[in-house]
Amino acid sequence: METITCAKPTFLKLEQLTESQFNKLSKYIFENYGIKMPEEKKIILQCRLQKRLRELQIDSFKDYIDYVFSSDGQSKEVSHMIDVVSTNKTDFYREADHFKLLADNVLYELSSCPEFHEPMKIWSAGCSSGEEAYTIAFTIEEFHAKNHYFDYTIYGSDISFRIIKQAIEAIYREDKTTAIPMEIKRKYLLRSKDRNNPTVRVKPNIRNKIIFSRQNLMEEKYSIPDYLDIIFCRNVLIYFNRQTQEKVLNKLINKLKEGGYLFLGHSESITSMDLPLSRIKTTVFKKI
């Protein structure tokens, strides 16, 4: 069970988020970003927004909501609000069997197809701070070492500007890299000299293969190119309701070329959805 502790304001006393205020915010967040905010999330939303109110020196949720829905707030504040609302949990080699399948089967099949045209295009949708996108790149580079070479581009996207900046910087605490095999670390990561704050950074040749951008999956059109070979959209759909999941999946599939692969998270299901996909393995599908 998640334990929520609200930080105490340093210079002002914040009001509690009322039910009507929560409903207004949660309705807006759901309709525009697809993120479910049921009643039990009220305290979480309140606690996460309190820090933002202190930063803005706004002393009530009423004034904050008025600002969010003002023309100035719509252009400046909404992205900050979504930053604190969105969940950004990820790891290198998360759900590692997907990367094994990518290395052992998918890359060879796609790159050997007579209709294959370089560069291979891969989208890491909901990439958070970039670990998934970089893991894909490591997997491709290792495939090149044992098989034939092909050029590739990875597109990483997330709803949060803040987290995308972290992905672009590609700097991670060393203790967050325990899932990366040592030989991969030696090839593709640089260690910081500061042993009091040990970090690593992905090497430039890998960083240059990835284009990061902000993308709201609720938008009607995506800025990611068409005819993608592979899409990873893992542990993102769990924050949407069933109707929104199917709508988003159809838009993702439209970005895939025929025969392209879609990877979903292990807790996600497309059962009973009408989608042009054939199941390859659990949560791995091919466009038909």
Same-domain check for residues 64 and 167: no
In a domain, 12, yes or no: no
Neighbours of 112 (CB within 10 A): 11
Per-residue confidence (pLDDT) for residue 195, from 0 to 100: 80
Do 213 and 115 belong to one domain?
yes
Q: Are residues 174 and 67 in the same domain?
A: no
Residue 14 counted as domain residue: no
Q: Which of 61, 85, 109 is the last residue of a domain?
A: 85
Task: Tell me whether residue 3 is in a domain.
Answer: no
| Cβ-contact 47, 14 below 8 angstroms | no
Instruction: Tell me the pLDDT of the chain (288 aa) as tens digits.
Output: 344 444 444 444 556 899 999 999 999 999 999 888 888 889 988 988 998 898 899 989 999 999 999 987 677 888 888 888 877 778 999 999 999 999 999 999 999 999 999 999 999 999 999 999 999 999 999 999 999 999 999 999 999 888 999 999 999 999 999 999 999 999 999 999 888 889 999 999 999 999 999 999 999 999 999 999 999 999 999 889 999 999 999 999 999 999 999 999 999 999 999 999 999 999 999 999
Residue at which a domain ends, from 85, 113, 139: 85
User: In the prediction, which pLDDT does 5 show?
Assistant: 44
Domain check: are 62 and 108 in the same one?
A: no
Q: Which structural domain range is residue 42 located in?
A: 19-85
Residue 9 pLDDT:
45
Distance CA 9, CA 7 (A): 6
Whether residues 226 and 271 share a domain: the answer is: yes
Same-domain status, 25 and 62: yes
- Residue whose C-alpha is closest to residue 81's, from 33, 127, 18: 33
Q: Give pLDDT, residue 48.
A: 86
Residues 36 and 102 in one domain: no
| pLDDT at residue 13 in the model | 56
CATH number of the domain encompassing residue 50: 1.10.155
Domains contained in the chain, number: 2
The helix-helix angle for 161-169 and 78-85 (nearest 10°) equals 70
Residue 252 and residue 231 in contact, taking contact as beta carbons nearer than 8 Å? yes
Helix, strand, coil abundance in the chain, percent, nearest 5: 45, 20, 40
